[in-house]
Structure 1
Amino acid sequence: MGGHANALPLTTALARLIDRCHSLRQLQQIHARIIVARPSLGHDATAAVLTRLLFASASSPSSSSSLHYAAVLFRRLPAAPTLFAYNALIRANSFGFCSHLNPLSLYSQMLSSGVRPDHLTFPFLFRYCSHILDSVVGQSLHVHILWLGFHTDVYIQNSMIHMYATCGLIDCAGKLFEVMPLKDIVSWNSMLIGYLRCGELDLALDFFLGMRERNVITWNSIITGFVQAGRSREALDLFHEMLILHDDNVKPNKVTVSSVVSACSSLGALDQGKWVHGYLKKQSLEFDVVIGTALIDMYGKCGCVERAIEVFEKMPKKDVLAWTAMILVFAVHGLAEEAFALLEQMERHRVMPNHVTFGALLRACAHSGLVEKGLWCFDRMKATYLIEPQPQHYACMVDLLGRAALFEEAERLIRSMPMEPDSFVWGALLGACRMHGNVEVGERVANYLIGLDPQNHAFYITLSDICAKAKRFGDVKRIRSFMEECGIRKTTPGCSMIEVDGQVLEFSAKRVPKDLRNEIEWVLDAINVELRYNFPHHDADNLQAEYVRLKFHQT
């Protein structure tokens, strides 16, 4: 009697200790204490405390060892698992990584044991279905929701919208959203993110404009979605609209800034990028590795190498992505020595380069014409870091060898590839043929690529450039006629952008009226006649080649 009378205070003490634990080791120590105290605790109290211990262990889903420990505890509970125990394990394993128990198997076991699920069970089951992209099981769970009467629970409905949208069933998500009796901001955001993930950007924008309430997640979703879809200019417009609202409850955070910097990077909008960088400092937003890396990329693409270096040096922490971004900046600007010096510095800081890092280094060698250095880098990647070259690495090496007019070596490397060469590898060789006017190899490679993708306009245009450079203008006309007959044309019209006074202006062939297009062609014809009349005869063929190339690309 006396031992069981002390069980309540001991149970309370153990529960408080569990709540204060911050490591698996501490939980294991408490577990040992529970085993020792089991006779005095009694069966029911022991089961209750172990279930609480299980929950604490399962609450760290990023730790594989904690999840494994929770799974062991679950299997060895002295009593049948309760709803609380099932929900804890389902939740912990729903994230999809380091799963030691399948949430769907747990749910099936739960039903077989006669344990009735509650409103906390299903959101994590739908999360797991989203992770494994299993809409069939998700739809079966939807039936269970209706059967159990949870179909009006907004938390469950939001998780179902997320599941349907993630699995690509945006119409199902939309129908569910329409019949929801109560919608909160999470409901609206889930639907918005669903449209963006499914690539329905115009529908997403219309939906966004119809939202009465928006929070920072709403704005971040629409801005990031448009940036990732290549509509960076509209993303910047949305960001400016966000700032104009002057809503104290909706202020840009580091996620917003990171996306906007990426938009500036893709547009080459240096002035706007500088303004966003200044806004980051003014608002005292956290300068983390994600934003730092985005700024390095932006300044590098806008040609401000010094600014990129300044950002890099001021970063409090640098991961492999930050180091690689800075190496890539050096690479695209032909600063190979600086790129390799940074690699040495990276190694001294014990940061392991990855396959992207070596891709950047090989690009640096290609842009600087350092063939021997490139071959050394390619070999070191395999020998020192055990990184197996991917197709993109072979493409860089072919580009490097091709720029140096080493066509035999480039083709030998392609033949040695352990995987099938893709269009990027062959495209690098084709680009080198255009650079050096190698008609023989260029025709062979172009015909091979055209056989792989007959509708790709880029292969025909490159081949026509090679023929024009070789003064084979009859072949150029035949290629153009063939493209017109087969309806082969650019799917995305060419465009260029320029930043003037902080405003990005876009010039696109798509928006050029037919009359103006004819006028441009007339001007080209006039220039051609003028050049041929005024320049010496020995330059005529080169001028003619350039004229044909310009006219061909213009149309």
Structure 2
Amino acid sequence: MANLRNAISRFIEECKNMKELKKIHSQIITSPFLLQSDKFLLLSRLLFLCAISDLGSLGYATVVFRFMKNPNLFVYNVMIRAYASKINGGGNEICSSQSLLLYKQMLSEGIAPNCLTFPFLVKECTTRLHGRTGRSIHAQVIRYGFYNDVFVQNSLIVLYSAYGTLRSARKLFDEMTATRDLVSWNSMIIGHLRSGELDEALGLFRKMSTKNIVTWNSIITGFVQGGRPREALAFFRELQLVSSDMVRPDKITIASVLSACASLGAIDHGKWVHSYLKMSGQESDMVIGTALIDMYGKCGCVEKAYEVFKEMQKKDTLAWTAMISVFALHGFSKEALNLYEEMKKEGVRPNHVTFVGLLSACAHSGLVAEGRCCFVAMKQVHLIEPEVYHYACMVDILSRAALFEEAEELIRSMPMKPDAFVWGALLGGCQMHANVELGERVAQYLVDLEPLNHAFYVNLCDIYAKSGRFEDVKRIRTLMKERGIKKEVPGCSMIEIDGVVHEFSVRGSPDVQMDKIIGVLKDLNDDMKMGRVSIILM
């Protein structure tokens, strides 16, 4: 009997598909030569493979579980783990809360949990957004004495971070000083980054004695998404200095760094990253290819972006959309529309963002008829319901063409409330064509909507100025002064030198030697006054 049990156990381990697994299952339950204890042991192993393995089926595992007599803690843990993290063959999540229901059933049968039970229960609460239940599970952790288990604590940190209760997550983290591992540090850093607390995340990052690529990717990506791309590039340079076989930039790193280059317009750095990608032997997949297209496009290298696009062997919706958006950004409207037609021929479905690019392309080139066609096709052909930003693009197209009645009719037909961008697009058209009557009405609505936004006052002043109504210009400026509204200073200018991006602003920049720059400008000014410098107009 032991030999038969061992043979069947080996068959389970070597099983390659569900058909074989079902045959083995049939042999186990029908064999007269196996003891009940052997059958239970074999069914437990079969259940594990069926529930956890990629070749298995959670639905079939559920059937096996239901017919098992007196399941033990191992069996419950397997099913709790499977329900908390598994996706069935159809791609849809199995009924939520099943792992929590199994946990209640397990307790009702007098089976106490262990340290392997709770991480998956907490994962269930994190994934399915069961915040209150998550706190109840935390109480269960304390009740059963697993509050010092590092795996349980790490899962709780992720849970509280996911719900934005960072104070609770940080309290857990600070109290586990003796048992912290890399996962603990990374989870806490990611929690701070997701909540926009970049400096707190950086503080923890600097305290870490050991970092893995997840740590570096988290801090680089977090700072890019948090609007601090220059620092993200600095982290990448730092990573290169400490790079080893254990910590080496991967595709996530590259994609994030390319995003930082795109934000800064750091084309030299972006080209270097592209070269690094080739030299390191990393295969450029669709994610990297799309990031390269976006980077080259935002840095003004349209031809290079298109070159990367053509070299991509596989292109998904995001890749096509990225290239269409690059063409739109730089005024190549016909190219954007032609690429859209090619995209459809290739059988790739456009998405919401694709149509933002197409409508923007039409707006920048005054292609009203093409814009109307795209807007209609979006709804009727591709069954994509327009969002508020699509309406803003369409209003922009019509307003630029002075089709104000049609633009207002479109706004009235919107199924959602128009926002400042929709009205702003209409106001921009009024400013362009000096439509004072409509411009006054729209501007007043926008001022009521956002009374401290200087842009609406400035646009109205410009409309009045173009119409020669300078008394009204004076009135609006006086109103701005009374309300303490000032026109914002332009953000900044940036220049890339030797791979380092330097930022210049009217207000000054901490890493720029403004005193020396002002001194040089003063010397040039003095030399020009004395006639020692001649200016050649090109």
1:539 is matched with none
CA offset digits 1:299-339 (Å, max 9, x no partner): 11111111111111222321111111111111222222222
1:226 aligns with 2:223: yes
2:77 is matched with 87
Q: Distance in 1 between matches of 2:466 and 2:230?
A: 36
Larger proportion of helix: 1
8 A contact 2:324–2:354 mirrored in 1: yes
1:116 aligns with 2:112: yes
Q: Which amino acid aligns with 1:98?
A: E
- The 5-angstrom pairing of residues 36-435 of structure 1 reads 37-59=30-52, 66-74=57-65, 76-95=66-85, 98-100=93-95, 102=97, 103-180=99-176, 181-435=178-432
CA offset digits 1:277-297 (Å, max 9, x no partner): 111111112311111101001
TM-score if structure 2 supplies the norm length?
0.87
Change (3 A) 1:147 1:367: same
Stretches of structure 2 lacking an aligned partner (at least 5 in a row): 87-91, 519-538
What SS does the corresponding residue of 2:246 show, helix, strand or coil?
Answer: coil
Q: Which amino acid aligns with 1:18?
A: I
Q: Distance in 2 between matches of 1:373 and 1:287?
A: 34
Q: Distance in 2 between matches of 1:461 and 1:26?
A: 74
8 A contact 2:15–2:21 mirrored in 1: yes
8 A contact 1:60–1:67 mirrored in 2: no
Q: Which amino acid aligns with 1:499?
A: E
Q: Please state how far the C-alpha of 1:359 moved relative to its aligned partner.
A: 2.1
Q: Please state how far the C-alpha of 1:491 moved relative to its aligned partner.
A: 8.2
Q: Which amino acid aligns with 1:118?
A: N
TM-score if structure 1 supplies the norm length?
0.85
Q: Please state how far the C-alpha of 1:171 moved relative to its aligned partner.
A: 1.4
Q: Which amino acid aligns with 1:93?
A: Y
What SS does the corresponding residue of 1:497 show, helix, strand or coil?
Answer: strand
Stretches of structure 1 lacking an aligned partner (at least 5 in a row): 521-555
Q: Distance in 2 between matches of 1:438 and 1:24?
A: 70
8 A contact 2:52–2:78 mirrored in 1: yes
Q: Please state how far the C-alpha of 1:196 moved relative to its aligned partner.
A: 0.8
Q: Distance in 1 between matches of 2:469 and 2:496?
A: 39
What SS does the corresponding residue of 2:501 show, helix, strand or coil?
Answer: strand
Q: Which amino acid aligns with 2:118?
A: F
2:11 is matched with 17
Change (3 A) 1:288 1:512: closer
Identity of aligned residues (%): 57
Q: Distance in 2 between matches of 1:318 and 1:199?
A: 32
Change (3 A) 1:146 1:491: farther
CA offset digits 1:158-206 (Å, max 9, x no partner): 1111111111111112121121122111111111111111111111112
- The 5-angstrom pairing of residues 444-459 of structure 1 reads 444-459=441-456
8 A contact 1:67–1:98 mirrored in 2: no
1:532 is matched with none
8 A contact 1:177–1:191 mirrored in 2: yes
CA offset digits 1:134-160 (Å, max 9, x no partner): 333222222222221212211111111
Q: Distance in 2 between matches of 1:464 and 1:512?
A: 31
Q: Please state how far the C-alpha of 1:408 moved relative to its aligned partner.
A: 1.0
8 A contact 2:83–2:94 mirrored in 1: yes
Q: Please state how far the C-alpha of 1:26 moved relative to its aligned partner.
A: 4.3
What SS does the corresponding residue of 1:352 show, helix, strand or coil?
Answer: coil
Change (3 A) 1:395 1:279: same
Q: Which amino acid aligns with 1:108?
A: K
